[in-house]
Amino acid sequence: MPIYLNLPLVIDTQGRNVYLFFIELKDVPGALEKLTDVISENNVDIRTTILIPSREKINIGYVLTHLDFSYAQVSPLTLNNLIKRLEVVSDSNYIEPQYDNLIINTFSFPLGVMEERAVIFRADWLKGLFKRLLKRFGSGGEAFLFYMGLEGGRSSANMFRKKTNITGKKLVEAILMALQAMGHGIFKLEKCNLEPLEIIIKAKELYECKSNEGEGGSQFIRGFLSGVLSEAFNMDLLVVEVKCQSRGDKYCEFHAQKTSYKEL
């Protein structure tokens, strides 16, 4: 099973003496090793680390790291000065917990995936929103979610194709993998034939299906997959969900049918 990836953007220090450091590291061999050496020499524990190349500065990498000073021989201020003195570092700053045990990363904005701005919503919040929409608007709400998904799927497939030059079946597979990477669910393209048409996608752990326990079926994700397949194969395809974890099936299963969105 894939691991649970808890992004360290807002963290609970759980009573530990943790600070968030933001270090600008020069792009030279061994730079990260020299940085981690000075951290470990002072008995400071690295809790999390993100290392990314800078978009703003040439030959600079950003290190965003939560450091635990519970058993440290130095203060955060002293360590920050030691880090700044390293030849491989061009700048270093840190913040302490803003509220009791809570450190919120205020060093960065915005977030990005594939160089595209992204925002994070809690899955529980999103599925609650879907549930209230369906309760209030019934089948109108279902159609609304489906068309939102359809446009989202088309837009994502277009963006992905432009950036990667991947097309057709490979494009669908790449997007399904990216959906897993971004936490939507775990997908598998089970069958993919165009003549005769037989496209089957299996999925597990879809946040949308868990919201409708016993009520059955996704609308947003079903629409999203319809949009992805329609763009990837350049024809109007409608995805129906024939099995669903919310109805007690072991996985959700989606089949594609030919359709015409102009008529809908």
Closest CB 205 distance from Zn ion, rounded Å: 10
| Choices 23-31, 127-135, 163-171, 207-215; region in contact with Zn ion by CB under 5 A | 207-215
Long-range contacts of 26-34 (CB under 8 A, 24+ apart): 26/59, 26/60, 26/61, 26/87, 26/88, 26/89, 26/90, 27/53, 27/59, 27/60, 27/61, 28/88, 30/88, 31/61, 31/88, 31/89, 32/63, 34/86, 34/87, 34/88
Q: b/e string for 144-177 if b means 16 or more Cβ within 10 A?
A: bbbbbbbebbbebbeebbeeeebbeeebbbbbbe
**Minimum Å distance from CB 9 to Zn ion?**
29
Smallest gap from Cβ 241 to Zn ion, in A, equals 5
Of residues 62 and 187, the one with the C-beta less far from Zn ion: 187
Q: Of residues 160, 244, 251, 254, which one binds Zn ion by CB under 5 A?
A: 244
In the bound complex, what is the minimum distance in angstroms from residue 218's beta carbon to Zn ion? 5
Q: Which stretch binds Zn ion (CB under 5 A): 1-9, 19-27, 151-159, 240-248?
A: 240-248
Q: Does residue 209 bind Zn ion (CB under 5 A)?
A: yes
CA–CA separation, 204 and 220 (whole Å): 15
Stretch that binds Zn ion, among 63-71, 75-83, 164-172, 205-213 (CB under 5 A): 205-213
Query: Which alpha helices (H) appear in the chain, and where do they start and end?
Result: 31-41, 76-85, 123-164, 168-181, 207-211, 220-233
Kindly state whether residue 252 participates in binding Zn ion, applying the rule CB under 5 A. yes
How many chain residues interact with Zn ion (CB under 5 A)? 4
Per CB under 5 A, which region of 33-41, 51-59, 89-97, 248-256 contacts Zn ion?
248-256
* Binding stretches for Zn ion (CB under 5 A): 209, 218, 244, 252
